[in-house]
Amino acid sequence: MRTVGRLAWLAALFAACLACHGGAPSALAQQTMRGQIFAPDGKSWSHEVRFMIISSDGSFQQYYFTDSKGSFIIPGLRRGRDYTLVVDGDGETYDTTQLSFNVEQVQYLSVFLNPRSRPAKMRAGKTVSVGGLNPELPSDARRSYDDAVSKVRDGKLEQSVPYFEKAIGKAPDYYEAVNDLGVVYLKLQRLPEAEKMFKRATELRPGEFRPLLNLGIALFRSDRYQEAVNALTRCLQIQSGLPEAERYLGESLLELGRLDEAEQHLGLVVAGKDDNRPYAMIKLAIVKVQKNDNAAAIRLLEQYLADYPKAGNRPEIERILKQLRP
């Protein structure tokens, strides 16, 4: 393929990848997940527990609360999508606990919190929130944080920002407020501010993978690909096998022209079954075209159409295949 023709194909494939955002994932049906969160000793709670649900591609991050016994119902999850339930440690009784699940494979979630090595006495009658039981935090910082979380839970992202900022102003090392404000900024496409928050969060807790993942995504969206590679590599060193981290790492390496490495990481995502797969398939096809392996690109795109027959970018993919075939 001539250079001009190759550039045209790459442009078409990139456009198809962007169209994918409205394609394959949106065709998935919704499902409700039920479950219960238990104390480290296996007993039921006597108060609410706050937790977060994160989709595998990072596009969905939502707070929820259990009832007074730890039971919960999560409506509107998409079939075929992988999610992670996260209960952040309270600093006294239990450590951060994560549980990954697929709504087609699990009908009920039983979550047992990871115990701390030296558990402290649990306070009764309070909502167990990410910062609510940290005795070192000023009470007004905790109240502002809880108000911010309530705004986020109601979908009022812009309105949550002042409350997060107030909490951080009262407690600059309030990790949860810093990280969660970064997530809000990322959703609002306020990338420089998101980057600042995630960098601060990684300083506060260098062993946590989530702020590194989100930092990598923010840097990628800011076209700072080498910095994204650095952040996502660190993320995978802490939590290996994260599909969204592998995907964005592969995409960043592709932008840098490091095709063999991009092929490796995107290939890992293509071999999986979560929501990152359709995006990775198209990006991997771009890698194949750049490596003069049109046959492999054709196979990938044909498989894409077979696996995602209702994808919104189907006409673009079919047009590309028609012209790629000998």
* Distance (Å, whole) CA 16 – CA 285: 11
Q: Give the sheet arrangement for strand 50-55, strand by strand.
A: 61-65, 50-55, 82-87, 97-102
| Alpha-carbon distance values, 199 to 17, 105, 217, 218, 324 (Å) | 29, 35, 12, 11, 43
* Distance (Å, whole) CA 78 – CA 243: 17
pLDDT of residue 75: 83
pLDDT of residue 208: 86
Tell me the pairing of strands 30-38 and 108-112.
parallel
* Distance (Å, whole) CA 122 – CA 65: 18
DSSP annotation of 156: -
pLDDT along the chain (326 residues), means of 10: 53 60 47 87 80 77 82 83 84 82 81 71 34 63 88 87 96 92 92 97 90 94 97 93 92 96 96 86 93 94 92 87 86
pLDDT of residue 61: 74
What domains are defined for the chain?
1-23+241-326 (1.25.40.10), 30-133 (2.60.40.1120), 136-239 (1.25.40.10)
* Distance (Å, whole) CA 187 – CA 207: 24
pLDDT of residue 57: 63
* Distance (Å, whole) CA 323 – CA 1: 11
